[in-house]
Structure 1
């Protein structure tokens, strides 16, 4: 039975522990206690969270090895670890099948030398800082999570859940992972290569009707997304819909749909080998020429250049 050890530090961020739910629900879906979860800190005992309450932990320094070691983060990178603390983390990582740094937990892995020569990510607020402090690490600031062999790192907050569900998929298969995501009410399971910045979030619609139309558009990018169709989904007249959409998002429906299509096309280009015509068709651009024009206008680069750059990063 694989033991998953979550390591916390003083002033830990509670959201980092939400990743535990993915393993808990995996046990429920599998109908057997596949994972055992253990909450630890280096010295053990009571550990205070950033919100002020305390939780009981087991001592990592004296605990047997784990199958999976999950290093959690806080609201700021942890700069209070001693050489002895880092040695404990290195020892447990060497004995574990895999080690993960959630959010600013990636800084702990970097301090322990576990990210040297590897790609890694962290919360976007601290990506630049991490790259400056650890030039031997290839920091990709705009990724949900990265899996580099036995080492995993994730962005902040909910990205830890995405990482944990991906681990469940590797252990128990895609169907179990999908069921876990449904139980967690994850509207969309994000792949590791996806951007930390979502266009749906940036559009920030406030009403249920406009949000419903945007979600419909995101899930049906290959279809003709006319104002009339989106208004029908929102249960508004086309005129009411256009007025409400601009008031809530600051953009026209056409501009917002283009942003959603660009985001989806970029992810497909970077994470798949689909030909450009297939990417254009799947994301609603109809043909590569129109997709290229949108990429040049928004990103300043054609799709082929962005795909080549992504492959070079992956190869490196």
Structure 2
């Protein structure tokens, strides 16, 4: 794993840079061994240093030539001046990203890192996202990119992009889930005290900065629902458990998650089914029963519709050792 940050220009963001360092940079031998081999590469000064955000100086011994041979390249962000003022990114960075992609590396951007991938032409014809504050600029500057400002992240196979701030963490945990399975991703998320899985299609911007009401009652009922997914749950059931009317429960859940109660339940059930397929040898029929998705045929229908593969194909992608 290689993280490339344009440290040849001022004002790079510490937060987006810290996310891949936290997720991929600390060995977790009890979860997976070997873990990722993370290297921070940059375009800084000859001594490997560059001034960064908050008055700090970053030093790295790896340059852009070290992108060669990487399995995954993550661009955490680009300097504000490149986004807001249109200042060009270093040509050597753009060329290095193209070479890495041509060599087969999986390309990932967090927040404004999408501008670097777009400048390299790696997002042409693809759906992509960035922080909602910058998506209009991204779409205007790179009209060949199909910009979606409503999602947390976009997984387009070998090229993945995320919105800003915590959405970058969602995408990095999604990569761990893809690479090492749901159990490892869930355990890592638990250690980081964050939600194990937020689907990429969840709403990017939900205004909860000044909540109109105290919705602490939602957390217990949602936790209860996750532990009883094998039951036939309805909005009325969940609302009753939360001591709310169905209409109030519907509104509060949509405000808190950006989705409807039934879609939230479906996402949780799909996640449970994925985890069971990855971590157990249970028959497909039993997986459908325990996840609340019903028969094997119904489970297959939902997997094909939402994941693009059958349950059997999904399980074969995560062989148990």
5+ residue gaps, structure 2: 226-232, 271-291, 293-304, 309-321
Q: Does residue 9 of structure 2 align to residue 5 of structure 1? A: no
Matches within 5 A, 1:1-316: 3-9=1-7, 10=9, 11-17=11-17, 18-24=19-25, 27-43=28-44, 45-63=48-66, 64-74=68-78, 76=80, 78=82, 79-198=87-206, 201=208, 204=211, 210-219=214-223, 220=225, 222=234, 224-226=237-239, 230=242, 255-257=251-253, 259=255, 263-265=259-261
Shift of 1:197: 2.2
Shift of 1:202: 5.7
Distance 1:26 1:153, change over 3 A: farther
Distance 1:174 1:255, change over 3 A: closer
Matched-pair contact (CA < 8 Å) for 1:29–1:179: no
5+ residue gaps, structure 1: 232-237, 239-251, 275-281, 283-307, 312-316
Normalising by structure 2, what TM-score? Answer: 0.67
Task: State the distance in 1 between where 2:92 and 2:71 align.
Answer: 22
Shift of 1:255: 4.1
Task: State the distance in 2 between where 1:58 and 1:267 align.
Answer: 47
Task: State the distance in 1 between where 2:262 and 2:209 align.
Answer: 17
Partner secondary structure for residue 61 of structure 2: strand
| Cα RMSD for the two superposed structures | 3.6
Partner secondary structure for residue 36 of structure 1: coil
Aligned length: 253
More helix per residue = 1
Shift of 1:81: 1.3
Shift of 1:154: 0.4
Shift of 1:205: 6.9
Distance 1:55 1:118, change over 3 A: same
Matched-pair contact (CA < 8 Å) for 1:77–1:104: no
Deviates more, 1:106-115 or 1:211-220: 211-220
**Cα displacement string for residues 147-177 of structure 1 (whole angstroms, at most 9, x for unaligned residues):** 1121010000111111111111111111111
Matched-pair contact (CA < 8 Å) for 2:250–2:261: no
